[in-house]
A and B are shown apart, each in its own frame.
Chain A
């Protein structure tokens, strides 16, 4: 079963007296463990679609299923719970909690609600994540003391803290220079590999699109390309 499936999803935004059709009937499936990019020019609906998958926005019509569950039927409370348990988020502007240091920021999702982790196990896990993103010597630093790239590394570790099945990243590289951006995507790829987490990220940088093994291309709210690469790199 696909971990995520979108069926004929539309999204309309009222804009003054007119309506903006941000998504005009989008259907697609995403499989467990994929490393997917949603590509397309500005205004094509990338963020909109990610927000639907991320359960922080609801479609105007159609439905989004996560692990087979139709999210449109859920209350705000259940959606919040679902986000906590199944999803991890990486934001374009990092959005770390400024008053928490690196370690505490990564720990934070583990302190929301219940998780079965033993304190010592939790500590080891957080330290593993910190090592994985290469911030061993920055543990006690606050976000304001870090560079953009470093902040996004923290964000990646934080998104993985609850061992979510899916990590969503809306333009995670947009606020970084291209070189740093590439290392960030590669780090995400590494995590995808190691933890078998499904990664979905949006970008309009074609260099970065190359790294993904599944590309969904949008234009004006419509999917124009939906192609999987074989391990060899050939389109499906």
Chain B
């Protein structure tokens, strides 16, 4: 076998131009598809990370209650049933955060800046203090009354210093305008990199501003240990919680606009926008109505878009490869004719038909695989260079970037799939000419003169 491989390898450089052309076409196809795959692969991870950072978890549970004035309020006062249900998942949970949040305007002197602020139950969120790169002040002071921690970006915009007081104008859960005061105790480096960063205070201070009792919170967010298990764990939690409390259905509605509305309302609540709604008596409910949403609910559509991109890319790749394969087939027909005497001589010397065929197959595979390798090499090089470019964090596209940088993963699975595809296609392309070469009668082949 080795000797035939050697001959095939050397044969592949006999018509350098021809081999370069065929290998080059394969390399080009490979370059494009690999770049696309590494881009989309990175995109999936980036989007998921950016979303889960922005929302502060993988599973988000919000509560709604009807107050004495028949207004819907975002809060969960009897969260015990929820916590019980969550406890059933504790093995799979990385962290839980219980928070309130609101959106409003920070006002300092003449400057204003719209900022979502989250109230953190610091006594329970042990990891909170270590999750930030603090650039000024100290995060330990956050438990003090009305203490706030803001991002460097926000602080710069407001021209705020540690220890200074800033006004915060927001809406309470019942829809009243309210103005509170915060004292800046710490500044952190914005790691999410896309302007959706929150400010943070302790839960009691925030609750006071939005008019909630001290121990209440509006959302419970869960970070799972494994992002891939989001759907399964959410289903578990949903089924469990349904037996103990009112839970908004997770079934997809027939009416799509209904679905979209629900998701948008959810998103608003999570972003701290207080949605005030009069609840008609016939729709009213007792205690807390829970809503469970997941990262996937929000990213699924983007994900499937990315998947579509991948499929289209793969189809284009296949078409490109099939065109190349027609080239390979024709080239090897020529090759067979050019090497007829040589084949005859080999057959006379005792080379079996199968091995004549193998020499051709090997040669085609060598060209295909070297082409693929070249394509891979270039795509990795280009990825590497693109990965060094900072596209900035201040525009909309930054949501698709990892801190301003394109995140490009090496799409190992897809590379394997593509290599197998190319090998298979070149095998199919070369099989007919290779068989024809193997079938040549030695005596006829030897008498042939070209």
Contacts and interface: CB of A to CB of B under 8 A. Distances in A.
Interface centre among B344, B350, B446, by most chain A C-beta atoms within 10 angstroms, is: B350
Interface stretch (A63-71, A84-92, A201-209, A219-227): A84-92
Given A83-B348, A84-B349, 11 more contacts: A57-B441, A76-B353, A83-B349, A83-B350, A87-B350, A91-B446, A95-B344, A95-B345, A111-B2, A111-B3, A113-B350
A63 B355 CA distance: 29
A95 B342 contact: yes
A112 B443 contact: no
Given A56-B443, A91-B446, A97 B350 contact: no
Contact of A100 (B7, B349, B441): B7
B346 interface: yes
A89 B345 contact: yes
Interface of A: 51, 54, 56-57, 76-77, 80-81, 83-85, 87, 89, 91, 93, 95, 97-100, 104, 108-109, 111-113, 158
Indicate the member of B11, B14, B352, B355 with the most A CB atoms within 10 Å. Answer: B352
Grouping DSSP codes into helix (H, G, I), strand (E, B) and loop, the B interface class, with mixed when no group exceeds half, is: helix
A93 B351 CA distance: 19
Contact of A80 (B2, B342, B352): B352
B335 to A, nearest CB: 13
A83 B353 CA distance: 13
Interface of B: 2-3, 6-7, 10-11, 14, 341-342, 344-353, 355, 441-443, 446
Closest 10 CB pairs of A and B: A84-B350, A99-B10, A95-B345, A111-B3, A56-B442, A57-B443, A56-B443, A83-B350, A89-B348, A112-B350
Contact of B350 (A51, A57, A80): A80
A97 B346 contact: yes
A112 B446 CA distance: 19
Contacts of B14: 98-99
Nearest to B7: A99
18 contacts: A54-B348, A76-B353, A80-B347, A80-B350, A83-B350, A84-B349, A87-B350, A89-B349, A91-B345, A95-B341, A95-B344, A95-B446, A98-B342, A109-B349, A109-B350, A111-B2, A112-B351, A113-B350
B346 A85 contact: no
A158 B348 CA distance: 12
Given A56-B348, A109-B350, A51 B341 contact: no
A76 B353 CA distance: 9
B173 to A, nearest CB: 82
B364 to A, nearest CB: 16
Contact of A85 (B344, B350, B442, B446): B350
Given A95-B344, A97-B342, A100-B10, A108 B442 contact: no
B355 to A, nearest CB: 8
A93 B340 CA distance: 13
Contacts of A51: 443
A97 B345 CA distance: 9
A81 B10 contact: no
Nearest to B344: A95
A20 B345 CA distance: 25
B340 to A, nearest CB: 11
A108 B349 contact: yes
A158 B350 CA distance: 13
A81 B379 CA distance: 48
